[in-house]
Amino acid sequence: MSNGNAHAEGASPAHGHDHAHAHHPALQHHFDTMSQQREAGVLGMWVFLLTEVLFFGGLFFAYAIYRSWYYDAFAAASASIEILPGLINTVVLIGSSLTMALSVRAAQTNQRKATVNWLIATIILGTVFLGIKVYEYADKFAHNHVPGASFQFAHVPAPGEPHVEEPAAGHVTTMGHDEIERTTQIFFSLYFTMTGLHAVHMIVGIVILFIITWMAHKGRFDSEWHAPVEMTGLYWHFVDIVWIFLFPLLYLVERHN
């Protein structure tokens, strides 16, 4: 059974010819042993996760550059994001990594029902995460914090920051856009792209989880072969770790004030 993130399927190969020795029904014919197959799968998943690091990395790089240039704007924008949903989501996602790890453990120890149950718990927690994200996004839409033509950011000076005088008579300023407002658009562009990309990975992960849960329910895994559960676990933990980085970078800029 191959380990691609988008291409899981279940059928064992039909055995139409003799074998000199018995082997696990899930052994694919181009591999010599189950351990070779498993090692190949694990290496493949780690290489894939490495590509994901580079994939998200481009966004983190852009974020780092712009944050170093427009720190105040980033702080103001970050301060405008409700912290509680983000906090809940972080706990939910870490929890889902726990349930995922427990399902892997159950598969390793041949506990079919426990495997299925922990997988279902992971799916539920992942869906909760996405639901909270929907709430957060809707909130941004309502406040016109979505970058684009209708973007508007009302800048509330922090305590201690001097109040910006109204421009002298005769000036016409652009509507509501001083440069902090201008550059907070960059923050929100990155916010939506980074969390959006993360959410897409979550959705893909949940789809895979459904498939793996079905396979587990059908009894496809045993202590000798449960590679798909392990691979999915690796992927899910990775998606979790990305969020661990996203949360402070997006929600917690200068929160110590």
Partner 1 sequence: METPVYPAHNYLSNGHTLRSWLLTKDHKRIAVLYLISISAFFFLGGLFAVGIRLELTTPQGDLFQPDTYNKFFTLHGVIMVFLFLIPSVPAVLGNFLIPPMIGAKDLAFPRINLLSWYLYIIGGLFTLFAIVAGGVDTGWTFYTPYSATSSSSNVAPVALGVFIAGFSSILTGLNFIVTIHRMRAPGLHWFKLPLFVWAHYATSLIQVLGTPVIAITIVMLFVERAFGFGIFDPQRGGDPVLFQHLFWFYSHPAVYIMILPALGVISELVSTFSRKRIFGYSFVAFSSLAIAVFGFIVWAHHMFVAGISVYAAMVFSFLSFSVAIPSAVKVFNWAATMYRGSISFEAPMLYVYGFFGLFLIGGLTGLFLATLGTDIHLHDTYFVVAHFHYIMVGGAIMGYLGGLHFWWPKIFGRMYSEFWSRIAAILVFVGFNLTFFPQFLLGYLGMPRRYHMYPDEFQVLNVLSSAGASILGLGYLIPVIYFAWSLKYGEVAGNNPWGASGLEWRTQSPPLTENFTEVPTDIPEAYEYTPKVVREAKLV
Partner 2 sequence: MGGIPLFPEAASSFASEVDALYLFIVAVSAFFTVAVSIAVVVFGIKYRRKHAEEIGAHIEGSLPLELAWSIIPTIILMVMFGWGAKLFYEMRVPPDETLQIYAVGKQWMWKFQHTGGQREINELHVPMGRPIKVLVTSEDVLHDLYFPAFRTKIDAIPGRYSQLWFTATKAGRYRIFCAEYCGTKHSGMIGSVVVMEPPQYQAWLAGGGTEGTMAERGAKLFNDLACNTCHLDSGQGRGPSLKDIIGKPVELAGGGTALVDEGYLRESILNSQAKVVKGFAPLMPTFQGLISEEGLAALIEHIKSLSPQATTSAPALVPAAATISSTPDAPAQGAQR
- Contact footprint for partner 1 (CB under 8 A): 2-4, 6-7, 9, 28-31, 36, 39-40, 43-44, 47-48, 50-52, 54-59, 61-62, 65-66, 69-70, 73, 147-149, 179, 182-183, 185-186, 189-190, 192-193, 197
Dist CA 117 CA 213 (whole Å): 9
**# chain residues binding partner 2, by CB under 8 A:** 17
- Closer residue to partner 1 in complex, CB, 61/135: 61
Provide the minimum distance between the beta carbon of 211 and partner 2 in the complex, in angstroms, as a whole number: 45
Comparing CA positions, the residue from 199, 201, 196 lying closest to residue 235 is 201
Minimum CB separation of residue 51 from partner 1 in Å reads 5
Length of the chain: 257
Specify whether the CB–CB gap between 110 and 223 falls below 8 A. yes
Give the torsion sign (CA, 122, 120, 5, 131). Answer: negative
**Are residues 221 and 173 in contact, defined by beta-carbon separation less than 8 angstroms?**
no
Instruction: Taking each helix axis as running N to C, give the angle between helix 227-251 and helix 179-217, from 0 to 180 degrees, rounded to the nearest 10.
Output: 160
Q: Are 147 and 185 in contact (CB under 8 A)?
A: yes
Which residue among 11, 14, 84, 172 contacts partner 2 (CB under 8 A)? 172
The verdict on 51 binding partner 2 (CB under 8 A) reads no
Build a one-symbol-per-residue string for 182-221: x at contacts with partner 2 by CB under 8 A, - elsewhere.
Answer: x---------------------------------------
133 vs 28, 33, 81, 128, 232, CA distance in Å? Answer: 40, 44, 12, 9, 22
Q: Which stretch binds partner 2 (CB under 8 A): 105-113, 178-186, 209-217, 242-250?
A: 178-186
State in angstroms the smallest separation of the CB of 160 from partner 2: 13
170 binds, among partner 2, partner 1, none (CB under 5 to 8 A by kind): partner 2
Give the Cβ contact number of residue 189 at 10 Å. Answer: 16
Task: Identify what 43 binds: partner 2, partner 1, none; CB under 5 to 8 Å per kind.
Answer: partner 1
Tell me how far, at minimum, the Cβ of 30 lies from partner 1, in Å.
4
User: How many other CB atoms are there within 10 angstroms of residue 46's CB atom?
Assistant: 12
| Residue with smaller CB distance to partner 2, 18 or 166 | 166
Binding mask 91-130 for partner 2 (x = CB under 8 A): ----------------------------------------
For residue 89, the one-letter residue type is N
What is the rounded end-to-end Cα distance, in angstroms, of the chain?
52
